[in-house]
A and B are shown apart, each in its own frame.
Chain A
Amino acid sequence: MVAGAWICLLSPLGGAVAITLAGTRISRTTAAYISTLTTFVAFGGALIAFFGLWAEGHGDREVVSTAYTWLESGDFRVELQILLDTLSSTMMLIVSGVGGLIVWYSMGYMRGDDEERRYFAYMSLFVFSMLMLVQAGNLLLLLVGWGLVGLASYLLIGFWHQKPEAVAAAKKAFVMNAIGDATMALALVLLIWETGTLGYFGVFDQASSMSTTTVNLVALGLLGGAVAKSAQIPLHTWLPDAMEGPTPVSALIHAATMVTAGVYLLVRAHPIFEAAPDVQHLAAILGAITLLVAGVIALVQWDIKRVIAYSTMSQIGYMFLAAGIGAYGYAIFHLMTHAFFKALLFMSAGLVIHHLGGEQDIRKMGGLHALMPKTHMAFAVGSLALMGIPIFSGFWSKDGIIAAAFAEGDALGYTLFAAGLVGALLTGLYTTRLYLTVWRGQPSSFVSEHAHEGHGEGPRSMLYPVGVLTVLATIGGLVVIPGVWEPFLHWIDESAEPLVKATVAQDYGTSALGVSLALLGFYVAWRAYRAGRQIVTRPGTWHVLEHKLFFDEAYDALFYRPAVALSTALRRNVEEPVVERSLDEIGSGALQAGGEVARIQSGLLRTYAVAISFAVVVLVVVFVAVR
């Protein structure tokens, strides 16, 4: 069981190292196979770990395996260890399973790219980093995985390094994540200070006995990391730009790795957040704001991948909302179903982009359903799951979250409940708009020009993973049917006992509301499409939304430009006149002094002899006198 977990962790790392070391000695296809295979081996390991854990009795499903002591300093020690419990084993399955499908898909998508080997090495590294993050047995290892995920995302978003936008997007993602990493590191330092340990259990046991200020600061630091990694407001601006990377990378970032890390952290560190309820509610509020803002922005985007990216932000907002009110099981459940349908949406969007020769603008698309029936099917299933239409996976998880917000009660709970319902309406609107614009109607001139008949929809390595995910996105939610069959929730509850639980009546009532709102969204978007107009018609609103509520511009004005102005002023007033000039002065001064001293050195041997004799005499006199 533990061996399975270690295999799961180390196999992708082995793949990344092997591809890197082999370099050009292996063909591109071999690199792709190594990467895919090692990720599926990781999935096998995760399965072994999962079933091993399953066989354990209730309450024993928590195993810590230590490889060796990594750091030791006085009483403080950190071990290289993994924690295997119900939460981490679920995450392992999602990361390695969905990740494996995406890497497999990449084989077809990236075929012919100049640097396929580098790409697959990075992909393996990415999967390894995320597994490290979810399997870490203490907070420091979690931070290691956290940082590695940031690095791998930087490398992959900027994979097409000849594109300046890709490089800028990669830098942006890295900087935004670095802010979160820094707040997390500060929280860990505070924890070491207070508790003298970074082990999960040591820290969690002492969480309730720490002072309110401390625990609030720690929770805030962790929340900062989670917000940055999961692209929640206010650190969300990197996510849409990250679409500059190859499409499978977007799928990997959005579905299996990276953005789900924040949700995982909120659930993993729930004792800390429960000791700081205000911060936990802040997480829920941020999630609610993000889900609304991202949903609204998604209404006006023209890039197929950006629309899906904003929907990810919105769905992660739901997960934050759930984790923030203590519905941990639903947070992870939505994480899983979202991984299925979001990977599916990205991969079918990737098929479309692939088919149309790299075009991502939905204004040029349209009427594709006849040309790509299989992909159309997959995309439709993904859209239905995203909208939360019954029996599709998203229905079971999203409505559960909204119902939990209702069950939370009080002003906060009802506000979050309302936000969740409005989010469901928005989801219906933007999903329908995207679906109709891309797939319905007559093929546009651009499409008929670029779509090659009889060419198939894509290579088999791309279609099979999409097929698997279509099935998963359809039935993947059937592990939780409220009131009847909830094994998934019970499984997660063993790691994180939920704070709220909706009653069955609340659950089905919310579902009815949520589905009708999603259908209303569908209807409105369909009407708008039929009438040939956009959903957002006021030009002023459109302008604001198209600029994503001016977050980038605001950050530019708040941080970037003041920093540049300050630097310029410092250069002009300090660096050039003070530092540079004084350095010149010091140099020329030393030169001059040297010239003066050099005159003493006459080169005349006899002068030296006299000087030495004189000095000896003086020394002797001084010596005698002092004695």
Chain B
Amino acid sequence: MDGPDVGWYLIVAAALFGIGALGVMLRRSPLIVLLSLEIMLNAANLTLIAFARQHGDLGGQIFALAVMAVAAAEVAIGLGLIVAMARRGMLLDVDQASALRG
């Protein structure tokens, strides 16, 4: 088997996931939050592919493709929401969109 050990891939994936999670938790712009979400999804993809290679099983790769499709759909809806917010002249700040407060 070529390339580095699977552990390295996992470290990179963990780093990406952490960056994405921090982005979701700390940034206020919905656009960046969405971006960070994508990073988290891709971190998950990376682990899937890494394990797929280690086990020599294409299932993981196929699953990664499915995750991409979901991500694409999510971006389409998320961006649509953000555009709608912008059109209504709302502030692009997730902390301001708190009308569902109890």
A interface list, Cβ under 8 A from B: 597-606, 609-610, 613
Q: How far is the CA of A131 from the CA of B6 in the complex (A)?
A: 91
B102:A604 contact, CB within 8 angstroms: no
Residues of chain A with a CB closer than 8 A to B14's CB: none
Task: In the A-B complex, list the 6 residue pairs whose CB atoms are closest, starting with the nearest.
Answer: A603-B101, A603-B98, A598-B102, A601-B102, A605-B94, A603-B100
Nearest CB in chain A: distance from B87 CB, A:
20
A609:B98 contact, CB within 8 angstroms: no
Instruction: Give the nearest-CB partner of A595 in chain B.
Output: B102
B26 within 8 A of A: yes
| Cross-interface CB contact of B102 among A600, A605, A609, A610, cutoff 8 Å | A600
| Cross-interface CB contact of A606 among B24, B100, B101, B102, cutoff 8 Å | B24
A603:B28 contact, CB within 8 angstroms: no
B76 within 8 A of A: no
Residues of chain A with a CB closer than 8 A to B28's CB: 606
A602:B25 contact, CB within 8 angstroms: no
Q: Mark B73-102, 1 if CB is under 8 A from A, else 0.
A: 000000000000000000000110111111
B21 within 8 A of A: yes
B100:A601 contact, CB within 8 angstroms: yes
Nearest CB in chain B: distance from A393 CB, A:
87
Task: Name 8 A/B residue pairs within 8 A (Cβ), A-sorted.
Answer: A599-B102, A600-B102, A602-B101, A603-B100, A605-B95, A605-B98, A609-B21, A609-B25
Q: How far is the CA of A605 from the CA of B34 in the complex (A)?
A: 12
Residues of chain A with a CB closer than 8 A to B94's CB: 604-606
Q: How far is the CA of A604 from the CA of B28 in the complex (A)?
A: 10
Q: How far is the CA of A535 from the CA of B63 in the complex (A)?
A: 108
Nearest CB in chain B: distance from A596 CB, A:
10
Q: How far is the CA of A610 from the CA of B28 in the complex (A)?
A: 13
Residues of chain B with a CB closer than 8 A to A606's CB: 24-26, 28, 94-95
A609:B24 contact, CB within 8 angstroms: yes
Q: How far is the CA of A287 from the CA of B25 in the complex (A)?
A: 92
Instruction: Give the nearest-CB partner of A594 in chain B.
Output: B102
Q: How far is the CA of A275 from the CA of B26 in the complex (A)?
A: 92
Nearest CB in chain A: distance from B34 CB, A:
12
- If the complex has contacts A610-B25, A613-B21, A613-B25, are A605 and B97 also in contact, measured as CB distance less than 8 A? yes
Q: Mark B16-32, 1 if CB is under 8 A from A, else 0.
A: 00000100111010000
Q: How far is the CA of A626 from the CA of B35 in the complex (A)?
A: 35
Nearest CB in chain A: distance from B10 CB, A:
15
Residues of chain B with a CB closer than 8 A to A602's CB: 98, 101-102
Residues of chain A with a CB closer than 8 A to B33's CB: 605
B interface secondary structure, majority:
loop
Interface centre among B26, B28, B94, B102 (most CB of A within 10 A): B102
Residues of chain B with a CB closer than 8 A to A603's CB: 97-102
Residues of chain B with a CB closer than 8 A to A613's CB: 21, 25
Please name 13 further chain A to chain B contacts, defined as beta carbons within 8 Å, in addition to the given A603-B98, A605-B94, sorted by A numbering: A599-B102, A600-B102, A602-B98, A603-B99, A604-B95, A605-B33, A605-B95, A605-B97, A606-B24, A606-B94, A610-B25, A613-B21, A613-B25
Q: How far is the CA of A602 from the CA of B98 in the complex (A)?
A: 7
Instruction: Give the nearest-CB partner of B95 in chain A.
Output: A604
List B18-77 residues whose CB lies under 8 Å from chain A: 21, 24-26, 28, 33
Nearest CB in chain A: distance from B78 CB, A:
12
Residues of chain A with a CB closer than 8 A to B25's CB: 606, 609-610, 613
Residues of chain A with a CB closer than 8 A to B101's CB: 601-604
Q: How far is the CA of A597 from the CA of B33 in the complex (A)?
A: 27
Residues of chain B with a CB closer than 8 A to A599's CB: 102
Residues of chain B with a CB closer than 8 A to A597's CB: 102
Q: How far is the CA of A543 from the CA of B28 in the complex (A)?
A: 96
Q: How far is the CA of A613 from the CA of B24 in the complex (A)?
A: 10
Instruction: Give the nearest-CB partner of B24 in chain A.
Output: A609
Q: How far is the CA of A603 from the CA of B101 in the complex (A)?
A: 4
Nearest CB in chain A: distance from B18 CB, A:
10
Instruction: Give the nearest-CB partner of B100 in chain A.
Output: A603
Nearest CB in chain B: distance from A59 CB, A:
86
Nearest CB in chain B: distance from A455 CB, A:
84
Q: How far is the CA of A613 from the CA of B21 in the complex (A)?
A: 8
Nearest CB in chain B: distance from A617 CB, A:
10
Instruction: Give the nearest-CB partner of B33 in chain A.
Output: A605
Q: How far is the CA of A602 from the CA of B94 in the complex (A)?
A: 12
Q: How far is the CA of A53 from the CA of B100 in the complex (A)?
A: 84
Instruction: Give the nearest-CB partner of B94 in chain A.
Output: A605
Nearest CB in chain A: distance from B93 CB, A:
10
Instruction: Give the nearest-CB partner of B23 in chain A.
Output: A609
Instruction: Give the nearest-CB partner of B27 in chain A.
Output: A606
Q: How far is the CA of A572 from the CA of B24 in the complex (A)?
A: 61
Q: How far is the CA of A603 from the CA of B95 in the complex (A)?
A: 8
Residues of chain A with a CB closer than 8 A to B97's CB: 603, 605
Q: How far is the CA of A602 from the CA of B33 in the complex (A)?
A: 18
Nearest CB in chain A: distance from B91 CB, A:
14
Instruction: Give the nearest-CB partner of A611 in chain B.
Output: B25
Q: How far is the CA of A604 from the CA of B26 in the complex (A)?
A: 12
| Cross-interface CB contact of B98 among A598, A600, A604, A610, cutoff 8 Å | A604
Residues of chain B with a CB closer than 8 A to A610's CB: 25
Nearest CB in chain B: distance from A149 CB, A:
63
Q: How far is the CA of A52 from the CA of B97 in the complex (A)?
A: 91
Residues of chain A with a CB closer than 8 A to B100's CB: 601, 603
Q: How far is the CA of A600 from the CA of B99 in the complex (A)?
A: 14
Interface centre among B25, B26, B97 (most CB of A within 10 A): B25
Q: How far is the CA of A613 from the CA of B99 in the complex (A)?
A: 23
Q: How far is the CA of A613 from the CA of B40 in the complex (A)?
A: 12
Nearest CB in chain A: distance from B97 CB, A:
7
Nearest CB in chain B: distance from A602 CB, A:
6
Nearest CB in chain A: distance from B101 CB, A:
3
Q: How far is the CA of A599 from the CA of B101 in the complex (A)?
A: 8
Q: How far is the CA of A605 from the CA of B100 in the complex (A)?
A: 10
Q: How far is the CA of A312 from the CA of B92 in the complex (A)?
A: 94
Q: How far is the CA of A610 from the CA of B98 in the complex (A)?
A: 16
